[in-house]
Amino acid sequence: MTSTTKTKRVLFIGQSPETVDFSDPALPPGFDAAKIHAGIAIGMQLMADRGWAADLCLVQPDACAADAVKQRLADVSYDAVVIGGGLRIPPKSLLLFEQLVNAVHQGAPAAAIAFNTTPQDTADAAARWVDGLQN
């Protein structure tokens, strides 16, 4: 008997590490672009290890970010979309964060929306919804 289980698809949205203001006191000290890229690689690998098809969408912190997300969501149907902490945590990113949440809501209304705290816990954030652990 063959399995008809559909591969779960997850989109991870984060801010392009090269555009992060590391002087922002809302961010953990010691972060830099290289550390964020390394964390993203770990998070993406952990999702692949779970058997999921995971895509990455790194956005610029500007008015084009929501359009980039909408374009990505138009191409693929996702089970979950994880929005990174770097877009959610700094108070000055509130408007951008709202724009991205609304872009996901509009572009992927059936997808669960999850939030990570670091790039490395992206798979855990998605799993709360993809694996039904949200109870």
Domain ranges of the chain: 9-130
Contact 44, 121 (CB under 8 A): no
Q: Which of 113, 66, 116 is nearest to 88 (CA)?
A: 116
Can you list the residues of the chain whose pLDDT is less than 50?
Answer: 1, 135
pLDDT value, residue 95: 95
pLDDT value, residue 1: 46
For the segment(s) 9-130, the CATH number from 2.30.30, 3.40.50, 3.10.450, 2.60.40 is 3.40.50
Strands 53-59 and 9-15: parallel
pTM over 0.75? The answer is yes
What CA–CA distance (Å, rounded) separates 102 from 105?
5
- Residue-wise pLDDT for 42-58, tens only, equals 999 999 999 999 999 99
Degrees to nearest 5, angle at CA 103 with 98 and 107: 155
What CA–CA distance (Å, rounded) separates 27 from 105?
26
